[in-house]
């Protein structure tokens, strides 16, 4: 299955929650990984997002069945698909905070427009990735 279709699926799941009125706050809005293995919630230290400022993100990762994902290998990358270039920095997970929470440092955006953040998660032997679209 193509990444794009999965993303659409993830968005539909989210939309489904919103439309059916079953969302109970933030915990129910999550990003689904491409192969539907992991659920991810992120919070940015810069809210609303802003350009030209380096900042941190916190990730919370669970399996699709709701078990927190401990000590996974998590990588962060991204870019602007329309401009065909990557992030200006090389963010990475600098700390596992316990309870499925990971600290990401070094996030910065340097242009307005449509960005994508690609997060890959590997716990045990099972790797999957999540693509988060962001409008700046």
Partner 1 sequence: MTLAAIAAGIIWWLLPQAPPASWTEPEVEMLESLWIANLKPLPSDPTNAVADNLAAARFGQRLFFDRRLSANGAISCATCHQPERRFTDGLPKGQAIGASKRNTPSIVGVAYSPWLYWDGRRDSLWSQALSPLEDSNEHGSNRSHIVRLIAADPSYSEMYALLFGDLPESDSVDRAFANIGKSIAAYERLLMPGPAKFDRYVATVVAGDETSQQEVFSEDEIRGLRLFIGEANCTQCHNGPLLSNHEFHNTGVIAFPGEVPDKGRVAGIREVLAHPFSCTGTYSDDPGRDCAELKFARTGPELIGAMRTPSLRNLENTGPFMHKGQIETLAQVLQHYNKALPAMIGHNEVKPLGLSGRELRQLEAFLLTLAAPLATADQWLRPPLHDPAEIAVDQAGGNALAESIVTTESL
Positions touching partner 1 (CB under 8 A) are 51-52, 54, 83, 85-92, 105-106, 108, 110-113
CB of 91 to partner 1, least distance (A): 6
CB of 119 to partner 1, least distance (A): 16
Residue closer to partner 1 by CB (options 32, 80) is 80
Would you give the DSSP letter of residue 27?
G
CB of 130 to partner 1, least distance (A): 20
Is-contact 56 43, C-beta < 8 A?
A: no
- Cβ burial of 130 (10 Å; 0-12, 13-18, 19+) is buried
Give the CA angle between residues 103, 104, 106 to the nearest 5°.
Answer: 140
Residue 52: both structure tokens together: 């030209």
Cα–Cα dist 4/14, whole Å: 15
Cα–Cα dist 113/4, whole Å: 19
CB of 83 to partner 1, least distance (A): 7
């Amino acid at each position: 299955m193509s990444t794009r279709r999965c993303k659409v699926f993830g968005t539909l799941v989210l939309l489904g929650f919103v439309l059916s009125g079953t969302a109970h706050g933030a915990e129910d809005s999550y990003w689904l990984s491409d192969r539907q293995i992991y659920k991810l919630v992120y919070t940015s230290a810069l809210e609303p997002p802003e350009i030209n400022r380096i900042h941190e993100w916190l990730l919370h990762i669970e399996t699709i069945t709701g078990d927190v994902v401990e000590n996974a290998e998590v990588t962060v990358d991204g870019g602007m698909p329309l401009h065909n270039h990557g992030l200006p920095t090389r963010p990475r997970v600098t700390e596992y905070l316990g309870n499925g929470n990971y600290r990401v440092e070094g996030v910065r955006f340097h242009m307005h427009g449509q960005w994508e953040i690609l997060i890959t998660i590997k716990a045990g032997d099972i790797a999957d990735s999540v693509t988060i679209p962001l409008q700046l």
